[in-house]
Amino acid sequence: MTRADEEQQNQWWLVVAAGPAVFMASVDLSIVTAALPVIEHDLGLSTSTAEWVVLAYLLPLAGLALPSARWLDTVGRRPALAFSLTGFALASLAAGLATNLGWLIGARLAQGAFGALLFALVPALATTAVQPEARGRAMGLITTLGPLGLISGPVLGGLLVEGPGWPWIFFVNLPVSLVVLLAGLRLLAPDVPLRMPCPTPPGSPRRPCSVSP
């Protein structure tokens, strides 16, 4: 195979399209910190209580990282991307519309759960979109966008809080999710649909449940 053929098989557009999903999920790790004082004031919260707005996103990310990766091994990349992005966008919309602490924390928990899916899925998309010789470059792009999102979060959050208001730290995820979703649907071929994994004994390989006719 010639170098031209290898480059032709590398789906760099898919890597570039999936990258903003990691950036977006990373931004949400830090963007809320700039808005906490305003959220405290608007919702009548104490500082210690408002910290749960941050923790509610972090806890699912930590707890669901491994289960998300195992589940993604049993389903297709295209439906998994659609599911995770749609869920993240809807959770972001709910967070921006929150009028009390319980609502906001519930939305943030959902954001974190779908964010865990995105963090597990995007690296898999990047490594399977290119030839083995190019996987280092693909992963380099993805791993650069994660820390960049963390750094950008407080700056972007400050601008949004001072401008349209704190709900927009969540609403900003909607156009990003839509762009990545449309690109993914265009670039990824239809494959294995979403399904629940079968219960398996400890130590056994995870596999999808068979569907009865």
Asked if residue 102 belongs to a domain, the reply is yes
CATH number of the domain enclosing 105: 1.20.1250.20
Share of the chain above pLDDT 70, in %: 88
* Distance, CA of 177 to CA of 30 (rounded, Å): 18
Asked if residue 212 belongs to a domain, the reply is no
pLDDT, tens digit (0-9, with 9 covering 90-100), for 105-161: 999 999 999 999 999 998 888 888 888 888 888 888 888 888 899 899 999 999 999
**According to the model, what pLDDT value does residue 209 have?**
54
Asked if residue 207 belongs to a domain, the reply is no
DSSP label at residue 51 = T
Q: Which domain holds residue 17?
A: 11-187
Res. 4 pLDDT band, cuts 50 70 90 = very low
Share of the chain above pLDDT 90, in %: 49
Place of tokens 């999920």: 25
Asked if residue 195 belongs to a domain, the reply is no
Question: Two tokens at 159?
Answer: 């601008």
Res. 198 pLDDT band, cuts 50 70 90 = low
- What DSSP line would sit under 94-160, residue for residue? HHHT--SHHHHHHHHHHHHHHHHHHHHHHHHHHHHSS-GGGHHHHHHHHHHHHHHHHHHHHHHHHHH
With beta carbons less than 8 A apart as the criterion, state whether 101 and 49 touch. Answer: yes
The number of domains in the chain is 1
What's the pTM value of the predicted model, to 2 decimals? 0.85
pLDDT, tens digit (0-9, with 9 covering 90-100), for 56-81: 999 999 999 889 888 888 888 899 99
